[in-house]
Amino acid sequence: MMIDFVPDETLYPFESRWFDSSAGRVHYVDEGFGPPILFCHGSPTWSFLYRHIVAGLRDRYRCIAVDNLGFGLSERPESFDYRIAEHSTVLGELIDHLQLDGFVVMGHDWGGPIGLSAATERAGRVRGIVLGNTVFWPIEPLANRAFSAIMSSGPMQRRILGQNLLVERFLLGELGGTLTEAEADHYRQVQPTERSRRGLAVMPREIRAARPLLDRLARDVPALLGHKPALAVWGMRDIVFRPGTCIPRIRAAFADLDVVELPRAGHFVQEYAPDEIVSAIARRFP
């Protein structure tokens, strides 16, 4: 299943590109020239989340932003199970297809584990890491695990599929007046039907089910990537990945880390503070 939605070129002024992965057709943008940066989104977003950052960096970097299968403009394969490990496998195929070398990977939300899992398997080709409100270790807080259990229940799964709950309540509910109505519609209209939202419905379960992958990343990220230059850009008002818990864990994993605190930003940092993130990346990876 493909999505018919066509982004407004004034909001998403990029050429769509496609990659036929082993699991389905992946949409991505590949803008600009220079050192490559790979942008990885989480749930319930897509590459649209990075539009301001890509536009701000493509004059000096090659900016690649991918839509995970089941998200954005990518295919919704019936046979794909939409788990984090499988998303990472597909991302790795794209990295190899594009022959990326000396690349920076940025991950947000589930894009952190997806991007880092692919990066640890290609550590010799990674230049650096950017993390924005994400984790790469098992998610233990009771509130997060309770959210996982509740959102995985039958009634809430029906609301995710039938009412687009994750987009309407958790994304647009947080961003409020930060987005124009047209921008909000770009998040809504790429998930237009129950069938198209199957990938969204899996994500809450992965908070608990992805533990084997997160256990591996907790070991492999410091061991294989911990010596790489790293940057954390953190929304300090995030109640999902709280800075007081997450930033010290990231500091412990990376020997060469810069932290940029974004005091007015919540979870979706790219919407709150794109200019600050552009500047931070340009400073860290000149």
DSSP character at residue 194: T
The CATH homologous superfamily to which domain 17-140+211-284 belongs is Alpha/Beta hydrolase fold, catalytic domain (3.40.50.1820)
- The one-letter amino acid code at 17 reads R
Task: Give the residue ranges of DSSP H helices in the chain.
Answer: 51-57, 84-97, 111-120, 142-151, 154-163, 165, 172-175, 181-188, 198-209, 211-220, 243-253, 269-272, 274-284
Q: What angle do CA 4, 68, 108 make, to 5 degrees?
A: 125
One digit per residue, the tens of pLDDT, for the chain of length 286 reads 899 999 999 999 999 999 999 999 999 999 999 999 999 999 999 999 999 999 999 999 999 999 999 999 999 999 999 999 999 999 999 999 999 999 999 999 999 999 999 999 999 999 999 999 999 999 999 999 999 999 999 999 999 999 999 999 999 999 988 999 999 999 999 999 999 999 999 999 999 999 999 999 999 999 999 999 999 999 999 999 999 999 999 999 999 999 999 999 999 999 999 999 999 999 999 9
Catalytic residue of the set 41, 87, 108, 267 = 267
Looking only at the bridges linking them, the beta strands covering 25-31 and 62-66 are antiparallel
Could you confirm whether 267 is annotated as catalytic?
A: yes
Q: Could you report the per-residue pLDDT of 247-268, keeping only the tens digit for each?
A: 999 999 999 999 999 999 999 9
Comparing CA positions, the residue from 66, 100, 56, 33 lying closest to residue 280 is 56
Sorted by where each begins, the domain ranges of the chain are: 17-140+211-284
Residue from 41, 109, 186, 220 carrying the catalytic annotation: 109
Flag whether the pTM goes above 0.95. yes
Active site residue 109: yes
